[in-house]
Amino acid sequence: MASSNEIDPPGGPGNTLPSRVWALRGARAAMSIPALILTAAFVGYAGLARETGLSLTETLAMTGLIWALPSIVVLTGALSSGMGLVPAAIAVALASVRLMPMTMALMPMVKVEGKTKRWQLLIASHFVAVTAWVYAMRNLPDMPREARLPFFLGFGFAITSFVFCATGVAYLLVERLPPILAGSLFLLTPVYFLCSLWGASRLMADKLAMAIGLALGPVFFLYVPGLDLLWTGLGGGTAAYLIHRVVRRGLS
């Protein structure tokens, strides 16, 4: 993974580089440990998809078009349980709604007023998932504004293409993979997401929200199955916000 020290600061020499160079830099940065962890998780998902009865075409279509792994898993579970189209769509929407504030926070960062086209932002928004978002929020502010969008597009396209190909290969070879290993690979992603989000959090309120969410998660899983992630996010985020407000007022 490229460090921020390797990126030209705003106003520096990087401003003169063409967009394709920044896109190639983004593609190079995608070849990193987070990408390998995400690929390993999709290898585990390939085993789940094949066991569920999805074809190779359906598995690759879901990987390329949906991209966010939790949403893919939710849709796979809905298909395997015989859930109707409307309930399945609602379940996937609830699993994906977390990406909306992430996209809203990232798009203004990569947009250049008067130059960036709407279709370019739409393409970039497709690559917004935790891996790309954490990397972007940590590294894009150190780049010239004109370089951010091509860099992110190169990063997103490279990591998506690599994972897409690895998922197809894993689907064909998954019968030779022990089930316990496939499950272990699948669990690498949430562990990585948690560690990455914790490391990228700059405010104490963010870390407090994650800590409260970890405590509330098992409770909601037992008492509100199916909506546990939604209520964990709402409860943890709201509690962290209120506690942060009270602490700030006490210190002021």
Summarised one tens digit per residue, pLDDT across range 150-202 is: 999 999 999 999 999 999 988 888 777 677 776 676 676 667 667 766 766 66
Answer whether 132's CB lies under 8 Å from 156's CB: yes
Alpha carbon separation from 36 to 29, 31, 145 (Å, rounded): 12, 8, 28
pLDDT at site 1: 40
Longest alpha-carbon distance in the chain: 61
Cβ proximity of 34 and 165 under 8 Å: no
> For residue 86, is pLDDT > 60?
yes
Q: Is the pLDDT of residue 87 over 50?
A: yes
Token pair for 143: 């780049």
C-alpha closest to that of 47 among 234, 158, 179, 216? 179
The residue that leads in pLDDT, 77 or 15, is: 77
pLDDT bracket for residue 6 (50, 70, 90): very low
pLDDT at 25 over 90: yes
φ, ψ of residue 154 to 5 degrees: the values are: -65, -40
pLDDT at 231: 83
What's the pTM value of the predicted model, to 2 decimals? 0.69
Assign 85 to helix, strand or coil: helix
Query: Can you give the three-state secondary structure of 124-188, one letter per residue?
Result: HHHCCCHHHHHHHHHHHHHCCHHHHHHHHHHHHHHHHHHHHHHHHHHHHHHHHCCHHHHHHHHHH
Helices (H), the chain: 19-30, 33-52, 56-65, 69-80, 85-96, 99-110, 118-126, 130-139, 145-173, 179-200, 204-223, 228-251
Identify the band that residue 5 occupies on the pLDDT scale cut at 50, 70 and 90.
very low
Most confident range, picked from 8-12, 59-63, 150-154, 180-184:
150-154
DSSP state, 8?
A: P
d(CA 189, CA 33): 12
Cα 151 to Cα 85, 100, 117, 141, 161, distances in angstroms: 37, 21, 16, 12, 15
- Check: CB of residue 221 under 8 Å from CB of residue 233: no
As a whole number of Å, the end-to-end CA separation of the chain is: 40
